[in-house]
Amino acid sequence: MKPHNPTLLFVIVAIAGTFLSAGCGTTPKIRFVTTESLTPGIFLEEERIVLPAGVEARKVSDKGLELTKESEGFRGMPYNDAAHYCTIGYGHLIHLEPCDATIPENFFDGITRPEGTELLRDDMHVAERGVTGLVDRELTGGQYGALCDFVFNVGVGNFRKSTLRKRVNAGEYNLVPFEFRRWVYAGGKKLKGLAIRREKEIELFFDEEEGVPRLVPPPGLDLTPIDIRTGEAEPQ
């Protein structure tokens, strides 16, 4: 009979000890990924637009929703965004604190892309009502989708106070690209992802027009960058 291998016995004992300790009430620590994703602005404010009786906000088109999907990205498992808020899917906020064992059961094991799309559709209602209630002009599908994505990102309150909204309501569409491009800061830092998102919104806004206006900024036009977390002062 061959002598026992002491190394093998040590490994077996160590594995057995792990299972025994797990069975003695020790709860394994769950680790969640932390990303650089920004919390959608609609989740960071209490402002909501209440539409008049009989008025309903139209749904963003599939093309518009795809813009938001591309910008937010999809993650099927719960994760912590850059603010350490528990999130899932296409930027859907689970709660305003880090992920932990209290995550609802329907999210804990992850979601599929179709389920993520359904959550995004529901979340987008806030932006849709915001654009419908704050814009006075008839909008094309592209204009509506671009503004809804913008509101989803920066929040209803920031859109309400924005010069961008003022330009749209005045029909000054030639100045709209300049206004979109101001909103590229978050937390005091200029972010490449926001700059890319703004360009995609501009392209969608003019999707049904003759193309994006290629103009030199008029003299005196305010091009001061804006932080999506603080917004700008009320337009005069």
Q: Which long-range contacts (CB under 8 A, 24 or more apart) does 217-225 make?
A: 217/178, 218/175, 221/175, 221/178, 222/163, 223/178, 223/181, 223/182, 224/182, 225/182, 225/183, 225/184, 225/185, 225/190
Residue 23 CB-half CA count within 13 A: 6
The answer to whether residue 72 is catalytic is yes
Strands (E), 65-194: 75-80, 86-89, 92-95, 185-186, 189-190
* Residue tagged active-site, from 46, 72, 199, 203: 72
Give me the active site residues, please: 72
